[in-house]
Each structure stands twice: as structure tokens, then as C-alpha cells.
Amino acid sequence: MASFKSTKIPIYPKLGEKVTPDTLYWKNYKAPVQIKEFGAVTSIDFSSLAPHNYAVTASTRIHIYGPFSTEPVKTFTRFKDTAYSGKFRSDGQLLVAGCEDSVVRLFDVSGKVALRVFKGHTKGVHVTDFTSDCYHILTGSDDYTCRLWDIPNSTELTSYKEHTDYIRCGTTSKLNRDIFITGSYDHTLRVFDARVEKSVMTMDHSQPVESVLLYPSEGLLVSAGGRYVKVWDLLKGGQPLVSLKNHHKTVTCLSLSSNGQRLLSASLDRHVKIYNTTNYKVVHNFDYAASILSLALAPDDESIVVGMTNGVLSIKHRKSPEEKREMVGKQRMQPVYRIFVKGRNYVPKKDDFLVSKPVKSHLAKYDKQLKKFNISKALDTALESWRRNRKPEITVAVMKELDRRGTLKNALAGRDEQNLSQLLNFLIGNVVDPRFTPVLVTATEMILDIYQAVVGQSSVVDRQLVRLQELVEREVDYQQDLLEVLGMLDTLFATSLPRKEVPCPGSSRPNGLAEGSLGAPGPQLQAA
Amino acid sequence: MVVHAEIRMVHRGGSKINFREPVITHDSRFLLCAAGESVNVYSTSTEEYVHDLQGHTDLVTGVVLNPSNHLQVYSCSADGTVRLWDFTDAILIKTFIIGYPIYSIYVSEKHGGVVFLVVPMANYKSSELFQLVAVHLPHSGDQEVEARELSAVLCDVSHHPGAASFGREGEYIAAVKGLQLEVFFFKKQKSYRFSLKSGMKKGAKNAFTCVSCHPKEDCIATGHEDGKIRMWRNFNQKKEYTYSTLHWHHGAVNTLCFTPEGTNLLSGGIESVLVHWHYTQENQKDFLPRLGAAITHIAVSPDGSLFCTSHSDNKITIIQSCVKVSAVIQGLVKGDGVWTNLIIDPRSKALVLNGKPGHLQFYSLHHDKQLYNLDIVQQEYIHEEGLDQFEVVKAAFDARGDWLATVEERRKKGAELEINLKLWAYDELTQSFVLNTTVTAPHEDRITAMFFSPSPETTMLVTTSLDGHFKAWLLADHSDANEGFWACDFVGGYHLLKPGCCSFSADGSLLSVGFQEVVTVWSPASWELLTTLSQPPGAIRDLCFGRLSCSKYLLGASTKNQLCCWNLLTCSLEWSTPMDVSLLQTDPLSENIAAFCSQSGSSDLFVFKPSEPRPLYSQKALCTGKVQHAVFAPRDQMLESCEERTQWLNRSQLYFLTQHMDLLTFSTKTEEDRLLASSKQLMVDDSVAVTPFYLLLGKHRGQQLEKQEALTNPMAERTQLPQGSIAIKELLHTPAHVLPSASFLCAMFVRSLLISSSSARFKSGLWLYHSRTLRLVSDMYCQLRDQIISN
């Protein structure tokens, strides 16, 4: 004697991304804090000094924020025009910024007035950076030149005029005080050595370069421009390694995660993509509300700061371990019925007489009714509002089971107006769902058969029937369109595949059909 | 058949044990049931097969206990004999020759020495008219007795064994047929008939199906087509009879049975629920639901403690006091049809085929016993006639037995087909298959063939379907912690033709798919179409690759009476022969291929190698009807037969299933000898319940006891020694008239008793031994002389 077999509820595959260690890591951030700036946020730079303040360049100001503050802890406002590229020195004491008015200013982080003012560029300066020895400054400007300045003397050391368009990005080597790299709208990346008169290496990105990034080892260089992110091997003389095209608008900013294992790219298409640096596959993706211009990660990935064109600065902080534990604890606190069954954990002692009681298997309510052949009640239970709305697959599975038993018609019959409208509502909501269509179409046909005599007696039901009809008509049109598209695609695939000759056996036997070539195994619609 | 005397066709998989009502013996220890041409004896407590009563030459149609001796049993058969057996020792006591085929047997305590039989009416031998006759069994010392004195009791009765029953203390007998109940009183020698209206209105079907009489009171219970049970009382007159109706069954009542004290009435039908009506409170009833399949017979032990129910799936369930199923005796389930091929499970070497509805049964061929049922559909089975049920239509194992693939389908009337493809992984822990992946609607139409790739590197499944595609399924990478699932890897087609069959080469490097008239050969590694072969006209029905040395050949059977063999190296036809081959089957362990041809209502078998022009073995008129499925089952022990005719049976055995669901196989002489020897070894004392434990432990313990005895009493061992010797056997078991002279025998016998001097162990007590031996010899000699004189 077997026990009752409960109704099988099919598990439908969840659409969406798969859970990987990466998604777990990158999803572990709190809801973003948003700060409104005065204009588009063009640059964000983290100080390497302990509290890890960060400088945000937007419009004519540079704000310095503390790691958890929503108000700026310091503001530099002495710019005549739009400021660009506020950068901390590696010791966190000094800050340099370019400006649209071609003047480069150097600030003490604690002061307000510029310590040094470097004049010499003829157009706006979009790129500034400190060299690794902390005594020089690199600047790149819209006048196609890049220059090195001496901080103590506030004099210009060298000037290179090799680019033929605006210089919009650049970076200095952290290992060698003389080497720096600039990227320009003339589609090239150039590597300069301050000890040499000319550039030592040139790479062609073939799009206006928006951002460059050196790996900590400085063997690899990443450049972003247009929709492409390209990786270059500097040790092999600037050989292109990979070209990534995962964004559909210009990539504006690049960043590395703290351990150097993940590369982040931000784009005007409002996405931040995270790549694995070993195979350059996208492992995660962030969406933002507006086009992104700048992106920075705090040391240890503690926070992700993103600046957007609409002047919003979005800061995501990593969840602390305590908060994580709290979440788990909350889940565990939910009452579980079986835990509270008295004497459940009782271990029988040596002399106890054991009375074995058959373990009753728990059946769902609809299964209990199906077991007793109470078909209408089973359908009613399955149509309860929360089940109908939250888990339509249960309702459909019960309908399917009733259909298998040949009693669906009986279960659907004999319903009053309220019950019927409930049923019709469910059908309207789910009949075009491809997971449920086969079952629900049968049920719909049965309902129409049963209740055609009472059409016109209730306005509610009539309205729903009209809605159902419209829905079905719309779905039919939609499916027809889809089939047309499929047909077009089939012809495209068939023409794109090379015709392959089937080796014809050289026998004397007639083998008439062998001459026909293979019908292209084109894409087939896989039934869900 | 005479020509192929060395190869014999034998039935396998047991016979129907649910054909007639089983009988429980007085002490409730054994259960007897008719099984084909013999009566099987089972132990009720352990459900083990004890022995069988063999002797009938046709179907056994009834078994009843002898009312005057509860250690004896009567059996009747369609061969026209009634036999009396001692069932504990399986000894045939007497044979009564009746001369007519017998359909059922009834006995009563009151009518000692008389059996009541249902035989065809003498004048209408061919027609479907039967009569109930009383036969006085003559007392005589002979083994075979002719009992031709038949006296008719009732004419025109049903041949169904449940359609007649003895009433209180054998005073009357009640029989039902159609819409009529007839009660015959022996004292008055008068019968009364009670008819019901046909009642065709309101859908009522009043026809009687079965009858049972109360053992203590005058009450008859009858079952009806529409599920009603009527209790008849006051029926010893024409007018004033009454009946009350009990109704629970929604299908026909198949069987009814009163308990020995008459307190309860048991009924069963297609719902597979045993209903337990209380006789005094008729609206009170208990149920024992979900017994597995429709109940065909119910029997109660004479003391009322055990019930047993026979089911339509060839099963007998033993139930203790109406609450607990204590044992299940299960034969090879013979359902309505077998849709899956016959498959051999590579792990357990069991035969796998459709079992209970929605199940696959694993049947051990070597032990002739069902191992277990695997629930494939996993849905509550609704026992109702005319309902479309899910059926397992295809099943396949991969080469190592790690994966099982099944296809189940349900064809709704007028609606679309529902198909599920399920993949099962073998779980070492539970020793059974666990569902891994379910693919709903893998194809848009019926699946025609399904095979796993035999290559050990990849687990790949190929399905072909009438929707014009074949699909390859692969196990997705299981890099994650949880194990992988199956997904579609490739969809192929050829000119929108419908593929009907497919086959993998032995190493899995080639896949051939038969698209109607065209055979396409693909490479599963790259999914390239390598070549196409065709031999029109006639669609390809079956395909198979040669094995081992013949692996370059591809064989195809077409519908237009042609068997073709292509050479894959030259892509040309090697040979073809006009043969209407319905089934091709390759032996996995040799090059042999078996082809079943259907010709004018019967099937022929040819076993051949593709490379040789002469068939190894052929058998005309194998069986009537078409052979449905066949399989080569590898033997667990290789046979060493050198004869050319039987060599093909050395490594594996060919099993096949006929149209009538008979599982047949070929057996050779050497094999039968071996079987006989092993069955002798297994003889056990049946006073102890036979369980697998007993077989293991009992034998062991017996040996231990013997050893102990031998240790305590060294003399005992010696006196016992000669008993088992061959010389004594020869002496006592050879018929006396062929024995040589006594003096010659004696010399030979004494020589056999002498112990070779090398066994030093016996030297010490040698003189004692000799004296004993001499005494023994003299005893033997006397015995022998007596025997010779008596003969």
C-alpha cells in the first residue's frame, strides 16, 4: 500500500543572473547615498591617507568628503571657471586641480588659498597628476600639450607637443618618477619618459581616449575610448592584448578593485561593468540613474563612488559584517512550526517503552481535498487569493491534476458570479503566460462551454469575457509577428551558412537522395 | 522442433498468479495459487516461493482445500483432470480424469467425496455455454482414476469462478449469470431463479458479476456491474424474497468474500480499495486504499486472521486483520502492453520494462523474481476506466548504468500530446535512481527512439521524434557544488523528413538516424552529416551497427521486405536480402545479430554475423504473432558449448516478448543440466519459513551443528560416511532388474568403503571401523536381497 502522492508543482527556472561569488561580493553594498553637486561630476579621487577622504570635482568647486559624511568636510572654490581633475598627492597633503581657464592650482589640503599657481597652458587643463617622487606635476591640456612642472620652484620643466588633439586623460607611473602616459582625442596613447625628448611608445586606440589606467605592476595599460576598453601589454612594446566591447555608449572612466583582480568601467550608458582581469569576462553589472562620468573605489572596496552628468554623486558603502549577521539572525527568528512541537527532541532513556507512531506526512490543503476526491473544494483552495497571486503555478498545477483525473469540467461548473469572476480574473492574468498556456487554454474552453448559457446575465462577467477576448486576439497577433521574425531570421541564417557538399559515395548503386545538401540546422524554437 | 532438440524455447518470468483465487492453508502458513500449468506454494509470512505442484498439462483453473483433509488440496485444469495433492511435500496423490476441460471447482464439507465442476455443456462444446456438474470421486487405490459419472446440478452458468458459491453448511449453491441469480437447494432438489431488470435507464448496469454466501446465515451477497452490492434474504421461495443494497464502488464489483464467521463482507474492484463491510451494521465500512491495482480476487484464511487479494498487475497481497499489508507476492507485471524496449540494467543485470502503470519494473532474470518498481510518473494513479493515463513509453540506460532516461506521454483525446523526458541519476547511497532533470515537452510530437551514446567519455542522449528533428542532450557542466542537469545540445533534421529510428556505433563515434527512406550518418563529436545511405523503396524500420570485428557494417531493415547491410568504409551496399524484418537486435558481447521476421501470422528468427553469408541459427515459426521486443542478456557465467548451433548462446541469452506478453528465451541442454543441479542444492526443509536469511544462515548453522556433533562423537562421523557414497546410491536407486549379480555388487561395494591408506587420521581406529563396516555391509546386503525378492 503506497501513500498518497502529492500534486507535483513544477519548478520553473528563474530568469536572471546566476549567483556567483562575484555577484555575492558586489551585491553586498548598502543602498546608495546620493549627494547633489552643482554640476556634472567630472572627477573623484581618494586620498591614500587613513580616513580616506575623497575629492569630488564638479563645476567650479572641489569638495572633500569624509568616508561617511554627506556634507563636504572641505571646499575649494578659488576657480574662475570649471575645475577639472582634482587629485591628491600620495601623502594626502597636497591637492592639484586643472581649470578651464588654463591655470593649474596646487592646494594644501588644510588651507584654502592655492599654494602654487602654474601658468603656461593656453587652454583648459583636463589632466593633472603628481609624479611618484611627489616633487613634480603632470598636466595635460586642450592646447595639445602635456607638461611637467616643478613644485618647489613652480616652474615648467618640460613640454611635449606630440598629440594632435585635446589631451583628456593621463596617468603617472607609481614606480618610476619619470614615466607618464597620456591619452588624447587624436585616438592615441603616448608613453613619455621625462629624460627623453620624445615619446617612447605610441599606441593607437582608434577612438578618442577618455581614460587610461595602469595596473599596479605597470606591465599592463588599460585605455577607454568610444565603446571600447582596450588592454595593452607595455612590456611587449604596447601590443594590444584584449579589446572589450561591453558598453553601448562611450566608456568614460576606469578603475581597479583594491586587490587588482577586478576591473571596473563606467560609461555614458549608465552602467558600471566589472570584469575579471584573468579572462576579461563581465562578472557583474551596476545600473545608475544617469550617464556616468567618474568612478572611484575606496581602498578595500569599502565604498563605490560614482559621479554622474546630472550632478548627482552616488556613494555605496559596503555592508559591515555585523549587519550581515543581523540579517541572518532575523531569518532564523521566524517561527517554524515543527520546532515547537513538544517533546520533539526527547531522547528515549534505557528503560522507556517506545510506542512507535506512524509519521504523518504533511499534505497541502488542496492535496488533502484531492485525496478525498473533493474536486471543487480543491480548486477553490487553489484559487485562494494569495495563492492565485503569489504562486499561480500551484493553481495551474491543481487544474492540470484535475484535468488528468478527467474532472476539471465538474470542478469548474456550478460557480456563482463572484466565484466565476475570480476564475476569469485568474485566466486573464495568466492565460498568455507561456508556462501556463496549455493548461489554461483547456480550462478557458471548458468555462466558455459551461457558462455560455448565462452570458449576458451579469455585467461583471460579461466585461471580463470581453477583456479575455481582447487579450487572446492581441496574443494571436503577437505570436504571428514573432513567427514572421523567426521566418526572417531563418532565411538570414540559411544564407549566412556556407553550403556544404555531402560526400557522395562513389558506388554504382543509385543513391538518389544523397545529392541533396543538408538543410541548415538553423535555430529551432525550443518549447518551454 | 525435433531438428533443434538441443535448443529449446522456454517461458520465463513466471506465469499469471492472479488468474484464480489463491488459497490460504488451515494453519495460515502457506498460500497456494494457480500459476500457469502448476500450483505455486508460497510462505505467507515471508512471501518466499516454497515449491510448486507440477503435473497438469494445461492451465490450472482452480485450487481448493480438501474439506475432509486439510493437508490436501484439489486442483483442476483445462486438461480435464482434477488432481489431489499433498501440498507440504508436493506429492501428487491422485489424478481424476474427467474428460472435459474444467473451468472452476467448488467443494463443500457436507458433500464429502464430491466435487462440483464447471465444464462446457456436452452438446455445445464449441459454444460459450457451461454447466455446473457434481462428480463423485471414486475410492480406489490407483494413482489415476477415471471419474466419468457427471450429474448436472445447474445448467447455463458462468465460467467465472466467482459466479457460484456454496451457502450455509453446503445446503444450497448460488450461481449468477447475466441478470439472473439461481439458488439450488440440495435437500429439496429444487432451484429458484431471481431476475433483475436490465435497468438501462439512468445508466444503471444491473448485471451480476460475483456472488458470495454467508457461512452461518441464509444470506447471499451479489456484486453488480454498476458497483452495487445486493444482500439477498428469504430466498427459499419465489415470491417473498427481499434484498438490500450497499453502494460504495463506482466501478464494477470484481469479487466478494465473507469472513469465515460471517461478521464481515469484503469487496474489491477496479478502485483497488479493499472495502470491509460490517455484516450487522451495513452502513459501517472500513477501507484499505491504494493497494496498487484493481482487485480481482479476495481470499480469507480459514481462521479469519489473514486476507489476501489478487490484483490485476499479477500480484497477491497478504493483509493481516484488515489493517496492515504484511506481504506482497509479485510476479512479472504483465500490463496491457510493453512500450519500452526490453532493456538490461548494466548494474543489476535486471530486465527492465513497463510494470505497474507509470512504473518501470526491474526483473531479475537469474532469480526469476521482481527486484523493485521505479515510480517514473510520480503521480497519484486514479483507478478509473477510460481515463488517459501517463505511460512510460521509452527508457534507456547509459553504458555504465549511472543514468536512466525515461519518456512518459499522455495522449488526450483531441488535445495536444503531453510528453516528459526525465533523467535519473543512480544514487550509490540509496541504491536506486533519483530524478535529476525533467524536460517538459522535449519534442513537439511523439518520440520514436531514444539512446545513450555508448562511449565512456561523454554521456549523451539522442532522441528522435515525429516532429522531424532529432535532439542530442548533454549533461551540463557541474562545476558548481550541486550536480549538473541535462540540456539540449544539438537539434538536427534532414529535409523535414520524420526520423523513425537511430543507432549509435559500438564506440559512440557514429550516429545513424533513419529518416524514412534515408539513413543519415552523423559524427556526434562535431555534428557533421558524414554521409547518407538509402535503398528505396521502403522506409527504414530498424537500424543497428555491427559490433567488434563487424563494426564497419550498418544494418537496416526496411518496411518493403528488405534487410540491407552497408559497408561504412566504402559507403556502399554490401548485401541485401528480401526479408520482412520487424526487429533487429545486436548482441553486445559478440558480432551476432538477431533478426525477427514476421511471416503469415508467425515469427521466424535468424541469428547471423554481418560478415558471413550463412546464418548461425534459424528457427521457423517461433511463435504466433509478431515478436514485440527482444534483448540479449549477458550471462553471469559463460557456457562452454562447442556445438556450432548453440555457440551463439554461450555469452548471452536472447529474451523476447511475444504479442501475448509471454517472455520467452532459448535454453540449451547443458544449461538445463546446470540449473537442475543447482535447484537440488537449494532444497530446504520447509518446516522452517524460507527466507533469504534462512538460506544463508540455516545452511550455515546446519553445517555448524554437524561439525559439533562430529567433534563430540567421532564415531558418528564414520558411520555416516558411507551413506553419501556413490556406490550406495547406485546400489539403492538403480532398478533391481538391471543390477548385476549380488556377489559382484558386494565386492564393488566393499571396495568403495575402503579408505586409502594415505588418510592417516583414520588409522588409529581402523579395526573398529572395519568391524562396523562389515556389519553395515551385511545389513545392506540383506536390504538389497529383500528388494530384489520383492521385485
B71-128 residue pLDDT tens:
899 999 988 899 999 988 888 888 998 888 898 999 988 888 889 999 888 665 556 7
Q: Cα A508 vs. chain centroid, distance in angstroms?
A: 62
Contacts of B495 in chain A (CB under 8 A): 513, 516, 519
Rounded distance between C-alpha atoms, residue A514 and residue A244, angstroms: 45
CB contact under 8 A, A505 and B492: no
Here the contacts of A426-433 (C-beta below 8 Å, separation 24 or greater) are A426/A383, A426/A388, A426/A392, A426/A395, A427/A468, A428/A464, A428/A467, A428/A468, A428/A471, A429/A392, A430/A392, A430/A396, A431/A468, A431/A471, A431/A472, A432/A471, A432/A472, A432/A475, A433/A392
pLDDT tens digits, one per residue of B280-319: 887 888 888 888 888 999 999 988 888 999 988 888 899 9
- Chain pair A-B, CB pairs under 8 angstroms: 95
State the pLDDT at residue A505.
41
State the pLDDT at residue A62.
92
The residue among A404, A410, A508, A515 with the most chain B CBs within 10 A of its CB, best to mutate, is: A404
**Which among A253, A256, A257 is positioned nearest to A271, based on CA atoms?**
A253
Report chain A residues touching chain B, CB-CB < 8 A: 1-8, 10, 370-371, 401, 404-406, 438, 442, 500, 502-503, 505-507, 509, 511-514, 516, 518-519, 521, 524, 526-528
Rounded distance between C-alpha atoms, residue A117 and residue A164, angstroms: 26
- Confirm if B402 and B424 have CB atoms less than 8 A apart: no
Q: Which three cell numbers stand for residue B311?
A: 490484483
CA dihedral B284, B286, B292, B295 (to 10 degrees): -50
Q: Which three cell numbers stand for residue A9?
A: 508543482
Query: What stretches of A100-233 adopt beta strand conformation (E)?
Result: 104-108, 114-118, 125-130, 136-141, 146-150, 155-160, 167-172, 179-184, 188-193, 199-204, 209-214, 220-225, 228-233
Contacts of A408 in chain B (CB under 8 A): none
3-state secondary structure of A93: coil
For chain B, what is the mean pLDDT?
Answer: 81
State the pLDDT at residue B787.
67
Mean pLDDT calculated for residue range A49-72: 89
Rounded distance between C-alpha atoms, residue B788 and residue B579, angstroms: 62
- Look at phi and psi of residue B170 and say left if phi exceeds 0, alpha if psi is from -120 to 50, else beta: left
**Strands B91-97, B144-146: pairing kind:** parallel
Q: Is the pLDDT of residue A405 over 80?
A: yes
Query: How many of the other CB atoms lie within 10 Å of CB of B563?
Result: 24
Instruction: Please name the residue of chain A whose CA is at the shortest distance from the CA of residue B520.
Output: A514
CB contact under 8 A, A521 and B496: no
Q: Is B68 exposed, middle or buried (0-12, 13-18, 19+ CB in 10 A)?
A: exposed
CB contact under 8 A, A507 and B572: yes
Q: Which three cell numbers stand for residue A421?
A: 469572476
Is-cis flag, bond preceding B634, omega within 30?
no
Instruction: Please name the residue of chain A whose CA is at the shortest distance from the CA of residue B273.
Output: A1
Of the partner residues A442, A507, A521, the one whose CB lies closest to the CB of residue B573: A507
Rounded distance between C-alpha atoms, residue A316 and residue A27, angstroms: 10
Mean pLDDT calculated for residue range B751-772: 57
CA dihedral B144, B146, B151, B156 (to 10 degrees): 80
Query: What stretches of A340-475 adopt beta strand conformation (E)?
Result: none
State the pLDDT at residue A449.
92
pLDDT > 70: percent of chain B? 84
Q: Which three cell numbers stand for residue A492?
A: 538570414
Mean pLDDT calculated for residue range A79-108: 91
Three-state DSSP string of A312-361: EEEEEEECCHHHHHHHHHHHHCCCCHHHHCCCCCCCCCCCCCCCCCCCCC
**Which among B415, B408, B382, B272 is positioned nearest to A402, based on CA atoms?**
B382
The residue among B325, B330, B380, B534 with the most chain A CBs within 10 A of its CB, best to mutate, is: B380
For A25, A200, A480, the CA distances from A485, given in Å and listed in that order, are: 40, 53, 9
Three-state DSSP string of A252-307: EEEEECCCCCEEEEEECCCEEEEEECCCCCEEEEEECCCCEEEEEECHHHCEEEEE
Contacts of B388 in chain A (CB under 8 A): 404, 406
Q: Is A491 exposed, middle or buried (0-12, 13-18, 19+ CB in 10 A)?
A: exposed
Phi, psi of B710 (to 5 degrees): -60, -35
How many angstroms away from the CA of A505 is the closest CA of chain B?
6
- Confirm if A461 and A424 have CB atoms less than 8 A apart: yes
Q: How many residues does chain A have?
A: 528
Identify the DSSP state of A134. S
Rounded distance between C-alpha atoms, residue B392 and residue B419, angstroms: 10
For chain A, what is the mean pLDDT?
Answer: 85
CB contact under 8 A, A509 and B573: yes
pLDDT > 90: percent of chain B? 14
**Which among B299, B283, B312, B294 is positioned nearest to B212, based on CA atoms?**
B299
State the pLDDT at residue B691.
62
For A426, B444, B670, the CA distances from A432, given in Å and listed in that order, are: 11, 19, 67
The residue that leads in pLDDT, B141 or B82, is: B82
How many angstroms away from the CA of B397 is the closest CA of chain A?
25
- Confirm if B66 and B84 have CB atoms less than 8 A apart: yes
Rounded distance between C-alpha atoms, residue A389 and residue A381, angstroms: 13
Rounded distance between C-alpha atoms, residue B726 and residue B717, angstroms: 17
3-state secondary structure of B167: coil
Q: The complex's ipTM?
A: 0.76
Of A321-325, A346-350, B161-165, B237-241, highest mean pLDDT: B161-165
Instruction: Please name the residue of chain B whose CA is at the shortest distance from the CA of residue A502.
Output: B531
3-state secondary structure of A478: helix
Of the partner residues B291, B387, B390, the one whose CB lies closest to the CB of residue A1: B291
pLDDT tens digits, one per residue of A193-212: 989 888 899 999 999 999 99
State the pLDDT at residue B550.
85
pLDDT tens digits, one per residue of B201-227: 655 678 899 999 999 888 999 999 888
- Confirm if B102 and B76 have CB atoms less than 8 A apart: yes
- Look at phi and psi of residue A407 and say left if phi exceeds 0, alpha if psi is from -120 to 50, else beta: alpha
User: For cell 525533467, what's the residue?
Assistant: B438
CB contact under 8 A, B387 and A406: yes
How many angstroms away from the CA of A511 is the closest CA of chain B?
6
For A142, B107, B216, B221, the CA distances from B167, given in Å and listed in that order, are: 118, 11, 8, 11
Three-state DSSP string of B507-566: CCCCEEEEECCEEEEEECCCCEEEEEEECCCCCEEEEEECCHHHCCEEEEEECCCEEEEE
How many angstroms away from the CA of B488 is the closest CA of chain A?
9
Q: Range with the lowest mean pLDDT among A120-129, A240-249, A315-324, B155-164?
A: A315-324
pLDDT tens digits, one per residue of A422-458: 999 999 999 988 888 888 998 999 999 999 888 888 8
For A36, A275, A280, the CA distances from A269, given in Å and listed in that order, are: 20, 17, 20
- Confirm if A201 and A188 have CB atoms less than 8 A apart: no
Q: Is the pLDDT of residue A54 over 50?
A: yes
Distance spanning both ends of chain A, measured CA to CA: 36
Rounded distance between C-alpha atoms, residue B666 and residue B732, angstroms: 36
Contacts of B518 in chain A (CB under 8 A): 513
pTM, entire model: 0.68
Of the partner residues A6, A442, A513, the one whose CB lies closest to the CB of residue B415: A442
How many angstroms away from the CA of A477 is the closest CA of chain B?
22
